[in-house]
Amino acid sequence: MNASAQKLAFASISTVAESVRRKELSPVELVRASLDRIEAFDLKLNSFYTLFRDDVLAAARDAEAEIARGHYRGPLHGIPIGIKDIYECGPTTCGSKSLKDYVAAEDCMAVHKLKQAGALIVGKNATYEFAYGFPTTKSYFKPARNPWNLAYDAGGSSSGSGSSVSAGLVYASMGSCTGGSIRWPAQCCGIVGLKATYGRVSRAGVYPLAWSLDHTGPLARTVKDAALMLQGCAGYDPADPASANVPVPDFTARLGQPIKAMRIGLMRSVYEDNCDPKILGPFNVALGEFEKLGARIVDVPSITLTQMQAIEWPALFAETAAIHIDNVRHHGADYNPHAKLFVAYGLLISGACYLMAQRARAQVRDQLLEALARDVDVLILPTVGFPVSPVLDDSPGLSIVAEDFSVYTAIFNFTGFPAIQVPCGFDPDGLPVGLQIAGRPFDEATICQVAHAYEQATPWHDKHPSL
């Protein structure tokens, strides 16, 4: 791979889009370059299950012709992207042997909107099974690898999305997030993950994991790219009962604006007694960087990790069980062993426990909304509290519900607040570390502003894995 191909592969969407708009760069060239890199590297990464080689080249030729005629649709026009394989769009396996032959009859709304914006769908990205079942080397669908170290997992569940974007195979990919499945793989792979407000992006046609917690959103290499992707897929969709009928603002509008005097709420109680020092070190340095930018770090009373888990997991697994029980009865043998166990676990959760989790969830949401209305502009946390894990050879069982599974992302799933992960350094093993910034519902522009200010002041977004 020569230097100019490498540069093109890791360029930002906004940079490449400008060249496409000026007709200096053809979407066909971009797609060919993307397919070349996938051919060169994806046997190692396993980040794609399906490639739409012929279709995407045809779409690229159409885009080229359309732009030549002076009909430029915007910054996603002619840009190659990936889609997590739980979105209905051609073959849609959900990472499960039980759906290995399923082909969607039509595109889901998010994909439809992205295509309308001119994005070119290169293929379907690897996922944890049904967005929760950790794949192992023994699974039917093998795990996506981490481009920073192939012996390590890419995080999940949007694992192929994280891996392929980090490796420069595509410019962005759509993921989904129920407890952290956009931000966690983004952290593991050293990129940006943007989970928009609950209801901001349609989930219609995206295989559900837990209705009340499911979100969709992009993974990209820069904050601006993530904002541009969100622009392309956000909007009301009556086919999604959770879809919010609210205006879609310009998510890039505040990028580049200073964050001086902004108040950043630090939720210490969630992480301070359980976060691995390998994560805590870079995170604390990042807090200092925000202060250098003129922001104020303000302590915000919050909940503990145990309380967070007590709310998230019963709600998530009860809903998961309600979704999967009949499938497990018929196709249980085709599920990864622990994916089946998760469903069984969900069946053990009582109705009263589920409702208590939903009550506690409402309380926490209201407390944080008060803090965001009165005391702070955004909230900040490490993304997760443990380093990137090696690829698994055996089922992890129900380790996800163990006390030390410190995914701090979940709090913004059950509150529904928008949250964005940005890289903030590397651990001593050379694997990425990240932080997340969350904000008021439907105020993605502000979290993007804060994340962008940090990104531009630090070198992390310019670091790319060498394969």
Q: Does 356 bind other proteins (CB under 8 A)?
A: yes
The residue (of 74 and 249) whose beta carbon lies closer to other proteins is 249
Please state the closest distance from residue 122 (CB atom) to other proteins, in A.
33
The residue (of 120 and 400) whose beta carbon lies closer to other proteins is 400
Please state the closest distance from residue 403 (CB atom) to other proteins, in A.
7
Q: Does 397 bind other proteins (CB under 8 A)?
A: yes
Pick from 71, 355, 404, 457: which binds other proteins (CB under 8 A)? Answer: 355
The contact mask relative to other proteins for 202-241 (x = CB under 8 A, - = no) is ---------xx----------------------------x
Q: Does 446 bind other proteins (CB under 8 A)?
A: yes
Choose one: 67-75, 179-187, 286-294, 361-369; the region binding other proteins (CB under 8 A).
361-369
Catalytic annotation on 157? yes
The residue (of 107 and 129) whose beta carbon lies closer to other proteins is 129
Please state the closest distance from residue 256 (CB atom) to other proteins, in A.
16
Write out the chain in H/E/C secondary structure.
CCHHHHHHHHCCHHHHHHHHHCCCCCHHHHHHHHHHHHHHHHHHHCCEEEECHHHHHHHHHHHHHHHHCCCCCCCCCCCEEEEECCECCCECCCCCHHHCCCECCCCCHHHHHHHHCCCEEEEEECCCECCCECCCCCCCCCCCEECCEEEEECCCCCHHHHHHHHCCCCCEEEEEECCCCCHHHHHHHCCEEEECCCCCECCCCECCCCCCCCEEEEEECCHHHHHHHHHHHECCCCCCCCCCCCCCCCCCCCCCCCCCCCEEEECHHHHCCCCCHHHHHHHHHHHHHHHHCCCEEEECCCCCHHHHHHHHHHHHHHHHHHHHHHHHHHHHHHCCHHHHHHHHHHHCCCHHHHHHHHHHHHHHHHHHHHHHHHCCCEEEEECECCCCCECCCCCCCCHHHCCCCCEHHHHHHHCCCCEEEEEEEECCCCCEEEEEEECCCCCHHHHHHHHHHHHHHCCHHHCCCCC
Q: Does 443 bind other proteins (CB under 8 A)?
A: yes
Pick from 58, 325, 389, 392: which binds other proteins (CB under 8 A)? Answer: 325
Site residues for other proteins per CB under 8 A: 197-199, 211-212, 241-242, 244, 246, 249, 303, 306-307, 309-311, 313-314, 325, 328-329, 332, 337-338, 340-341, 343-345, 347-350, 353, 355-363, 365-366, 369-370, 372-373, 377, 397-398, 401-403, 414, 416, 440-443, 445-446
Catalytic residues: 84, 157, 181
